[in-house]
Structure 1
Amino acid sequence: MVNSGLIKDGWFCEVNDNSFPGQGLALKVEEVLYHSKSEFQDILVFKSSSYGNVLVLDGIIQATERDEFAYQEMISCIPLYAHKAPRKVLVIGGGDGGVVREVVKHSSVESVTLVEIDEFVIDLAKEYLPGMACTFGHHKVQVKLQDGFQFLRDVATRERYDVIITDSSDPEGPAEAFFQQEYFELLHSALNDDGIVIAQASENVWLNLGYIQNLVKTAKAVFPQARYCYTTVPTYTSGQLGLIVCAKDKSVNLEHPMRSPSLEEQSQLRYYNAGIHTASFVLPTWAHHQIYR
């Protein structure tokens, strides 16, 4: 049985007064495809009437077939094109496969390590979100089934990456650790000297500006550069989702791509381009002043 708090009268309702006080999101449900609890989280997959199949973790929409590319491309392309020659990439979370799908499109990338704690998410994505999970068998991809925080602790003394992408859940419960200073310190240790890290920041300027301000401050305590940008995702509450990007080298200009997509790469992109890369860092005046004051 599907939790009656999630689906009522044929509508999935996402209401979270902690993250999105006073507002919510609803999608019409055509069919419930899967619902269960894994060792780590509540997992729901349903077919919606307008956004295709939808993956929900602990009551929060993680991806829909219709708009997922807006998030996957931006969280992948911004650090990859801001880097002069990314070869070795680490992805923390992202068990739906969307980020990995985008990373392997880049010709300079030689290897991608995906660290996902919940194998159920990978299996369900393969079954219900095949457009996202289509590159798990790619020769560049290696999957590690373990906690991302512990992986970084273990790997910090022996591995270095050009780009690290943190595709975690929202900063509540177990995922809250991914937004603390210790985590940024582990990311810093696991990067090459010219490395770049990007993380899903969850909040946007319309929902919780104070949280963004504190997150950027936390990142700046570790990295010489930390910038906030965003992408537009209709099924994220308020339609905008934040990203935080950090560079180990203070001379790197995160807001402008160092490279342009090749013709082949650009032909596979639906959202990202050089113009939107730069524009995503441009914030409303009041928000810019609050975040960077």
Structure 2
Amino acid sequence: MGLNGKDLIVDGWFHERGVLWPGQAMSLKVTKVLDHFQSDFQDILVFESESHGTVLVLDGVIQVSERDEFSYQEMIAHIPLFAHPNPKKVLVIGGGDGGVLREVARHVGVEEIVECEIDEGVIIASKKYLPTLAKGYDDPRVTVQIMDGAKFLADNQDSFDVIITDSSDPVGPASVLFETPFYNSMYKSLREGGIVCTQGECMWLHLDLIKPLMDSIRQTYSSVEYAYTTLPTYPSGQIGFILATKGRTTCKVPERKPDETIQQELKYYTPQLHQAAFVLPAFCQRAIYGTL
């Protein structure tokens, strides 16, 4: 097993100590370990927590907790999808827990949803222990590819209206997803007018990762923007999204809005919050864009 369970859970508490956030940690009280195994790619831990429901952990880092997952899943999916006037074909890279699929499936105009996940172990664990997220796999429009996302992109160019990359942090198997060549591959797989939305790390911790990546892809994409959401179980309580377009000037203003029925089902996303997500604190605005 890649990680020692005794190092992760001490005196009944799970402790997340990540290499990308030195000097700080996140702890949750554990009521029951549901599963802990090593897949072909990473250490997978699932436990029941006292205050956050079921929690999925990959290589010692929290990916999902039932209490707050909706803020991440809804924003990473609905910002790009509602920023597009008529998305028909959507690719999700990563996101093996199924939460992004669940949100994409709310868009009745989408005709095809492809899930490309390298680690089938994440899908298996999520279907067993996180059915409220994994129900996204039940949609008949979904097809699943268990393979490397970069390879899939190379084989499917000029194919997708929206590509959503729901990745873990840039260490281990997900490191390639934060590099310029991967973004170039996504660009080639977008149709004209298409949108890419990727997990964009934390403004409080990772501006040294965010800015160089955004700068490097601006020469390729028509627009490159940073938005964010908040949730308690991610480092510093915040996570960002990098949104990049092919032949589109911005993602800040939604082209469509959820109907009343869908809006009542959503717990976080609103059209107003869509626009507000791009309004950055002064320090972040200066660091990423160089100006207020």
How far does residue 162 in structure 1 lie from its aligned partner after superposition? Answer: 0.5
- Structure 2 residues not aligned, in runs of 5+: none
Length, aligned pairs only: 288
Instruction: Give the aligned partner of residue 286 of structure 2.
Output: 289
Task: Measure the CA separation in 2 of the matches of 1:182 and 1:194.
Answer: 20
Superposed, which structure 2 residues align to 1:11-22 within 5 Å?
11-16=13-18, 18-22=19-23
Query: Structure 1 residue aligned with 2:265, among 260, 268, 271?
Result: 268
Superposed, which structure 2 residues align to 1:61-76 within 5 Å?
61-76=62-77
Task: Measure the CA separation in 1 of the matches of 2:53 and 2:216.
Answer: 37
Moved over 3 A (4+): none
Task: Measure the CA separation in 2 of the matches of 1:287 and 1:80.
Answer: 25
Instruction: Give the aligned partner of residue 185 of structure 1.
Output: 184
Query: Contact 2:203–2:239 (CA<8 Å) still a contact in 1?
Result: no
Per-residue CA shift, 1:11-52, capped at 9, x if unaligned?
A: 000012x31011110000000000010111000000000000
Superposed, which structure 2 residues align to 1:23-172 within 5 Å?
23-156=24-157, 159-172=158-171
Q: TM-score, normalised by structure 1?
A: 0.96
Task: Measure the CA separation in 2 of the matches of 1:284 and 1:220.
Answer: 21
Per-residue CA shift, 1:127-155, capped at 9, x if unaligned?
A: 10000001212111111111111111122
Task: Measure the CA separation in 2 of the matches of 1:120 and 1:206.
Answer: 31
Higher alpha-carbon deviation: 204-213 or 117-126: 204-213
How far does residue 250 in structure 1 lie from its aligned partner after superposition? Answer: 3.7
Query: Structure 2 residue aligned with 1:217, among 198, 215, 218?
Result: 215
Higher alpha-carbon deviation: 41-50 or 265-274: 265-274
How far does residue 5 in structure 1 lie from its aligned partner after superposition? Answer: 1.0
Task: Measure the CA separation in 1 of the matches of 2:281 and 2:170.
Answer: 24
Task: Measure the CA separation in 2 of the matches of 1:120 and 1:286.
Answer: 39
* SS class of match (1:136): helix
How far does residue 122 in structure 1 lie from its aligned partner after superposition? Answer: 0.9
Structure showing the higher helix proportion among its residues: 2
Instruction: Give the aligned partner of residue 9 of structure 1.
Output: 11
Query: Structure 2 residue aligned with 1:277, among 274, 277, 291?
Result: 274
Task: Measure the CA separation in 2 of the matches of 1:173 and 1:60.
Answer: 12
Q: TM-score, normalised by structure 2?
A: 0.96
How far does residue 268 in structure 1 lie from its aligned partner after superposition? Answer: 1.7
Higher alpha-carbon deviation: 219-228 or 101-110: 219-228
* SS class of match (1:174): helix
Query: Contact 2:243–2:251 (CA<8 Å) still a contact in 1?
Result: yes
- Structure 1 residues not aligned, in runs of 5+: none
Per-residue CA shift, 1:58-113, capped at 9, x if unaligned?
A: 00000011110100000000000000111110000111000000001111111100
Query: Contact 1:181–1:222 (CA<8 Å) still a contact in 2?
Result: no
How far does residue 116 in structure 1 lie from its aligned partner after superposition? Answer: 0.8
- AA aligned to 1:237 is P
Query: Contact 1:180–1:218 (CA<8 Å) still a contact in 2?
Result: no
How far does residue 218 in structure 1 lie from its aligned partner after superposition? Answer: 2.0
* SS class of match (1:131): helix
* SS class of match (1:150): helix
Query: Contact 1:233–1:239 (CA<8 Å) still a contact in 2?
Result: yes
Instruction: Give the aligned partner of residue 225 of structure 2.
Output: 227
Task: Measure the CA separation in 2 of the matches of 1:226 and 1:290.
Answer: 14
- AA aligned to 1:242 is G
Query: Contact 1:90–1:114 (CA<8 Å) still a contact in 2?
Result: yes
Task: Measure the CA separation in 2 of the matches of 1:152 and 1:53.
Answer: 32
Fraction of identical pairs, as percent: 49
- AA aligned to 2:255 is M
